[in-house]
A = this chain, B = another copy of it.
Amino acid sequence: MKVIKFGGSSLASATQLKKVFQIVKEDSQRKVVVVSAPGKRSKADDKVTDLLIDCGTKALLNEAYQPVLVKIIARYEEMAVDLNLDLAIIDEIKRDLETLALGDKSQPDYFLDAFKASGENNNAKLIAAYFNHEGLEATYVNPMEAGLFVTDEPGNAQVLPESYERLYELRKQAGVLIVPGFFGYTKEGKLITFSRGGSDITGAILANGLQAELYENFTDVDAIYAANPNVVDKPQEIETLTYKEMRELSYAGFSVFHDEALYPAFKAGVPVQIKNTNNPHAVGTRIATTREKSPGAVVGIASSPGFSSIYIEKYLMNREIGFGRKMLEILEDAGLSYEHTPSGIDDLTVILRSNQLSESQENELLNRLKEDLHADKVVIQHNLALMMVVGEEMRCNVGTMAKASEALAEHGINIEMINQGSSEVSMMFGVQEVDEDKALKALYQAFFN
């Protein structure tokens, strides 16, 4: 039994829905289908979710929301018409949206969560109707009936562990089940959405609860690439990837999907197959706990700009028990999360994401670090990019660092910082942001060409 999830671009139009139907029909193992809200049909198009946020916000502020509501309904209607469906489904969607718009606005978070979630919810109903119209037995399943219970944190729901057992019961239902992604319910019955990557999360939770053999995640790319295709020309496709490797790559900017969203599947040992709705017979990328195939020590290279480093120097730092702890407490007090802390004998560098720091906060932080730690020197540097060279088999591979640093040196790129612990799932280099693309190309060339 497989859980199969489609992203917004796979569900944006009748043409796309026809592809989705073919995909589900051709494999009887594809029992549970998790769907997103309709995405963009073209670059200039709107995502239904964005329209819903706009519409819901206007309703909250007592502004004219009707024109946006009409636009949303038109998106579903166009698909229904193109698919020759009975338009009763559109009336139902219309009523639902109008009821939501007039709902309780005393708690804006909950109001907006319910409004946003209707994108997935109504799409699931429409898709179930379409599948049945095509002669495939399909049932719309609401997450409440399914037993998908979550914490009461609007926009950031966490699944409650008891859900998993309940979800297993879905196996008993006949036919294909169409489940809207992106939300669950509290025990009190309040609808709450997940954070970003919401439909991916729903799919992963279902894959876990239903103990699926495979969680197929259909998107609009053939595979995860070994490097960003916007920078590197025709990068290799990754065939298999461990979950750990994917996390390291996602961390530094691989944006096929949000890696944490897949965690429930990973925890239950369900492998994930990334596939392309527009090219369903391409192999795609398999993500699993361990890798069967080993294409080489390095599986991918990612990079991400937007980092800053704070360099702290103090004579005899390494003799001062508690120095690092005190420094981290100052960061914690300032609500800052840091990424890495490479160190010398008398110095320590903190790497953190720059977007956490306003200018005034920055000055305050530097002063506190200097005064509370009696540091000799505190210097902040902005505009750093982190490069991650990722691969679980690097551990046993003499020469990976040599290859990487040689490649950077040959291209005249200075390494600002290096960090590699015992795990060796990844090697991290800090470079100047201006060198980021050049560095990515150089590293890709070294490991893949």
Binding site for B on A (CB under 8 A): 244, 247-248, 251, 260, 263, 309, 311, 313, 315-316, 318-319, 321-322, 324-325, 328-329, 332, 335-349, 379, 381, 396-399, 401-406, 408-410, 412-423, 425-428
Q: For residue A403, which residues in chain B have a CB less than 8 angstroms away from its CB?
A: 409
Verify B417–A420 contact, CB threshold 8 A.
Answer: yes
- Nearest B residue (CB) for A426: B344
Interchain CB contact (< 8 A) of A344 among B311, B315, B346, B423: B423
Known contacts A342-B420, A425-B344; A414 and B396 CB within 8 A of each other: yes
In the bound complex, CA of A396 to CA of B413 (Å) = 10
Q: How far is the CB of A424 from chain B (nearest CB, A)?
A: 8
Known contacts A346-B247, A399-B409, A401-B418; A337 and B318 CB within 8 A of each other: yes
- Nearest B residue (CB) for A377: B423
Verify B399–A402 contact, CB threshold 8 A.
Answer: no
Known contacts A311-B421, A325-B325, A325-B329; A251 and B413 CB within 8 A of each other: no
In the bound complex, CA of A426 to CA of B344 (Å) = 7
Known contacts A402-B405, A420-B415; A319 and B337 CB within 8 A of each other: yes
Verify A321–B342 contact, CB threshold 8 A.
Answer: no
Q: For residue A410, which residues in chain B have a CB less than 8 angstroms away from its CB?
A: 402
Verify B337–A423 contact, CB threshold 8 A.
Answer: no
Interchain CB contact (< 8 A) of A422 among B247, B309, B336: B309
Verify A339–B318 contact, CB threshold 8 A.
Answer: yes
- Nearest B residue (CB) for A415: B401
Verify B251–A318 contact, CB threshold 8 A.
Answer: yes
- Known contacts A399-B409, A418-B418; 12 additional CB pairs below 8 A are A251-B318, A319-B337, A324-B324, A325-B325, A341-B343, A342-B421, A347-B423, A349-B421, A402-B402, A402-B409, A417-B421, A417-B422
